[in-house]
Amino acid sequence: MVKLADAEKAQTKKATRAAYGATLAELAEAGVPVVAVDADLTGSTTTKKLADAGYGNRLFNCGIAEQNMIDVAAGLSLAGNVAFTGSFAVFGTGRAYDQIRNTVCYSNLNVKIAPTHAGVSVGPDGGSHQMLEDVSLMRGLPGMRVLVPADYAAARAALKLAAATPGPVYVRMGRAAVPCVYDDDVELEIGGAYLLREGADVTIVANGIEIREALLAADTLAAEGIEAEVIDAFSVKPLDADTILASLKKTGCAVVAEEHSVIGGLGSAVAELTAAQYPVPLEQVGVRDRFGKSGDLDELLTYFSLDANAIVEAVKKVRARKGLC
């Protein structure tokens, strides 16, 4: 099993977006021909750190023009660069979707779509900026790989993996500082997942900031005599079918938790897998067909039923359904 953060480190919080510019600078220092193309948000996305590290000639600020940002990145990739794009997720995927589809994916270009500020964890910016459909949009594109890291260390690993993977890759990052889950040297792989906790009674599949909530839920359930198996499905596309199916054959039911709409994201991917290969009762924890709302992260996790308590309730519900099958 993968090495998790120790108890002291698990108490610290860092935003996944904080890994972005620092990792690009690290890659540049290692000789990787990375460039970053941003849409007037170099401070918020942290791509400015690439310039601060002495690689200002590799950072291109296109202004508030996300569609142009994608096309500039496409051109830079054709010149032999590993091109990363940076904006808020609502703009970096939604406003630029046509360019991602028809320029990047249709031609299988080496462009990495790596926006920050995804999900309800944007917080006070509210529903207009809380992108809850991005995984669905990116997952549906032919040739796009989709990664949703749980914490700073996983985001750093996801960005390195994206740089080393030819073709389009989507890396989802957030604004808010979140607890550390993994040890600093964690590595990810396309199509991979990590079994974080073993259990025989229910499978909890999660990713992003919901990993921490899933682990807290597993603690609560254990105190009630329910042993939950927790899987970090950081690779939404391609999905690690083998790891998930092996767990389901042991537990016989599943809860999928994600900081995203229940339509088209991780929950949909797991439901498609189970329907085709191993049908079991399944419940989803996610945002249900609505826009976000302004508030603090912890408030929003509770408001949208995304917290550990919501996962516990979903587990009890799915186990009751399992007993009827």
Catalytic center residues: 66
Distance spanning both ends of the chain, measured CA to CA: 31
Neighbours of 171 (CB within 10 A): 27
Q: Which of 94, 105, 103, 171 is nearest to 133 (CA)?
A: 94
Q: And the tokens for 12?
A: 């610290």
How far is it, in rounded angstroms, from Cα 312 to Cα 319?
11
User: What is the distance between the alpha carbons of residues 269 and 252, in angstroms, rounded to a whole number?
Assistant: 17
Q: Please name which of 190, 94, 174 lies closest in space to residue 138, comparing C-alpha atoms.
A: 94
How many angstroms separate the CA atoms of 146 and 239, rounded?
A: 9
In whole angstroms, give the CA distance from residue 241 to residue 286: 21
Q: Which of these, 136, 78, 67, 131, lies nearest to 102 by C-alpha position? A: 67
